[in-house]
Amino acid sequence: MKALAAGFTFFARRLTQAALVMLAILIIAFAVHAALGDPLREIMGEAVPVAEREELRHKLGLDAPWPVQLARYLGGAVKGDLGTSTIYKRPTLEIILAKFPASLELVLGASLIVLLLSLPAGVYCAVRPRSVGAKLIMSLSVLGISVPVFLTGIFLITIFAVWLGWLPAFGRGETVRLGFWETGLLTRDGLRHLVLPALTLSSIMLPLFIRLVRGAMLDELGHDYVRTARAKGASPLRVWLSHALRNALLPLVAVGGLQTGTLVAYTLLTETVFQWPGMGFLFLEAVTRADIPLVTTYLVFVGLLFVITNTIVDIVSLMLDPRISLEGTR
């Protein structure tokens, strides 16, 4: 009963925190919007007489004091209205949501590669730290950390697209519409287009995760329960995988899940290299063409993703290790 109450308090506290962070992000976005964007110029252009301009300013309520405007902005944000793009003349959130599937599919593809490779590689490096293979993997991971993600992309394009001509280098290829979700995962062409970008994005996360898995595993292997399990006669493989790895997953979820910001940044770079039509590519276009509403909406959206993943990571950590709740609500 007590544990349940503690769990509930933890949950409520996390949700309040998430809401407060979102509020802060929205206020920053409003400030940027107010400081950099001029909605009148966006609507009317430069060549409109001052009197007419002032009239519209009044009509749109843009001469209201800033707290009123902030309240209006926040009110709009709750309903999903974060402004209108000056390039596309459409609601900014709609444009970003249309690009979101492309970015998410890229991230999912890369995460799959990272997951499939980093777990075995990390476990191997932890259980056989002195083997040649482990040393090779660790050296390669130093190299991987040293190569900027956009160069990995460029080299992959040079080799597989320009020289060998095996895989396409640009865009998403053929896509299929599933309701509002435009997916490239269902066509051969779409999947072929995903290979190089996903490999590129995974290349930068892979060394980090191999080191994480290895570190977490090494910590666990030093514990007494591992020796006990071995003494009871459990096979090494069973001890590594179902005892140590299971416990090593907790720090993995906690640290790995907190890489959202980094992942967004690297996705942005990857999208630029491959002209992948995702959110990051859109964001850079908005920046070059000074589309302030679109820029601030992107910030709010990325902030939201960040808050959601962090909250989920905290809750999953709680489920994996109930001790955290007691510490968290102290």
Partner 1 sequence: MSAEGVQTGPRALLAFAGERPGGALAAIVLGAIALAAAFAPLLAPQNSFDLTSFDVLDAGLPPSWLEGSDPRFLLGTDAQGRDLLSAILYGTRISLVVGVLAVAIQTAIGVPLGLLAGYAGGRVDTIVTRAADIQLSLSTLMIAIIALALFRAGLGGESLTRFAVPLLVVVIGLAEWPYFARTARAATQVEAVKDYVRAARALGGSSLGIMWRHILPNILSPLIVVATTQVAGAIMAEAALSFLGLGMPVTKPSLGTLIRSGYDLMFAGAWWVTVIPGLVLIGLLVSVNVLGDALRDGLDPRRGAR
Binding mask 123-142 for partner 1 (x = CB under 8 A): -------------------x
CB of residue 77 to partner 1, shortest distance in Å: 18
Near partner 1 by CB under 8 A: residue from 6, 191, 234, 258: 258
Nearest to 104 by CA among 93, 96, 115, 116: 96
- What's the CA gap between 25 and 300, in Å, rounded? 6
Q: State the alpha helices, DSSP H only, in the chain.
A: 2-36, 39-44, 50-59, 66-78, 92-127, 132-146, 149-156, 188-221, 224-231, 236-238, 246-257, 260-274, 279-288, 292-320, 323-328
Binding piece for partner 1, criterion CB under 8 A, among 80-88, 99-107, 230-238, 264-272 = 264-272
CB of residue 237 to partner 1, shortest distance in Å: 26
- Does 191 engage in binding with partner 1 (CB under 8 A)? no
- What's the CA gap between 157 and 170, in Å, rounded? 9
Binding mask 153-172 for partner 1 (x = CB under 8 A): -xx-xx---x----------
- What's the CA gap between 3 and 11, in Å, rounded? 12
32-71 residues near partner 1, rule: CB under 8 A: 32, 35-36
Chain-centroid distance, C-alpha 270: 13
Token couple for 232: 């009871």
Near partner 1 by CB under 8 A: residue from 288, 323, 327, 330: 288
One-letter identity of residue 270: T
CB of residue 94 to partner 1, shortest distance in Å: 20
291-330 residues near partner 1, rule: CB under 8 A: 291-292, 295, 299, 302, 306, 310
- Output 69 or 259, the one with its CB closest to partner 1: 259
Q: Got the DSSP string for 272-329?
A: HHHT--SHHHHHHHHHHTT-HHHHHHHHHHHHHHHHHHHHHHHHHHHHH-THHHHHHT
- Does 260 engage in binding with partner 1 (CB under 8 A)? yes
In the complex, which residues of this chain contact partner 1 (CB under 8 A)? 32, 35-36, 142-143, 145-151, 154-155, 157-158, 162, 258-262, 264-266, 268-269, 272-273, 283-284, 286-288, 290-292, 295, 299, 302, 306, 310
